[in-house]
Amino acid sequence: MATIKRALISVSDKSGILELALALTKLNVEILSTGGTAKLFRENNVPVIEVSDYTGFTEMLDGRVKTLHPKVHGGILGRRDLPEHVAAMKSANIPNIDMVVVNLYPFEATVAQANCSLEDAIENIDIGGPAMVRSAAKNWKDVAVLTDASQYADVISELQSTGGAVAEATTFALSVAAFNRVSQYDAAISNYLSAIDYKASMASNQPVRHQFPAQSNTNFVKVQDLRYGENPHQQAAFYRDLHPAPGSLVTAQQLQGKELSYNNIADADAAWEAVKSFGSSNNGATGAMTACVIVKHANPCGVALGTTALEAYTKAFQTDPSSAFGGIIAFNT
């Protein structure tokens, strides 16, 4: 287990951070912090040491350089189980940092704004944050790294139940989440910059983007394992985009029934996309018709309109009752 005695906290999104800091303080954890986070702690009587005081190096270049220091990264990366690491850190007067709490500059939110300039985008590319996150995630056996406010409550609960320690299973899971976050962050930066037409942007004094970026990076999150793949002897899993489109099949909830297979997902997607083309019959329009689509092996084998769901289904089923067996049914109501 990783015993937490010193934590470095530096966050852009300050949701829940006071509660975490107060819980750490009650467990006698020393807190290091930077800028606005340190200011927030001082204003709320949370004991905190500024990183610049800790390292003896004043932050510079408008805050671009503040945590890129051996006393920070040495404290995070030093392995407690290697005598040579312990001796080197002692010789250099570098204490251990056992917890890193960092969320990154809001690059994605910044570039999503219609009036975002290229300069604003560049200034919201975090350097020190990802470096600390990667260092802590690499040394996960000794360091807990938190990259999202949703993780705070469970970690606080574990710390309180153990008297200030975090299990290896927890630090490993946090490490995976940290590397995932850095991967998503770098992908967003690459996607944005790869789409910029620099010459046109300079001429118009605002970002001009190519229709197709020079590089497209995707991130997919596993939703569930599937019963089997396209054929029963194959294995499969269902993944979604990091930010799925509203109303897409992946946002649906399975209410009952056995685990889905690849073909169930593929047919359901085909049926849903087909019936969506009729619009919704729940919009209150007079005389609005209900649509029903039946799909088997990715092909519609029945499509019909009716004044009720039953009428639409009956017509769609009569189109090809044999192929409808075992198929997927979708309605626009």
Pairing of strands 299-306, 290-296: antiparallel
Catalytic residue status for 297: yes
- Burial of residue 82, with CB atoms counted within 10 A of its CB: 0-12 exposed, 13-18 middle, 19 or more buried: exposed
Please say whether the dihedral angle defined by the alpha carbons of residues 193, 195, 197 and 202, taken in this order, is positive or negative.
Answer: negative
Q: Measured between alpha carbons, how far is 247 from 265 in angstroms, rounded to an integer?
A: 15
Q: Tell me which of 14, 26, 90, 297 is the catalytic residue.
A: 297
Catalytic residue status for 315: no
125 Rama class: left (phi>0) / alpha (psi -120 to 50) / beta = beta
Q: Tell me which of 85, 138, 276, 315 is the catalytic residue.
A: 138
CA angle 92, 96, 101 (to 5 degrees): 130
Angle at which helices 128-138 and 168-194 cross, to 10°: 150
Tokens coding 52: 């610049």
Active-site residues: which are they? 138, 297
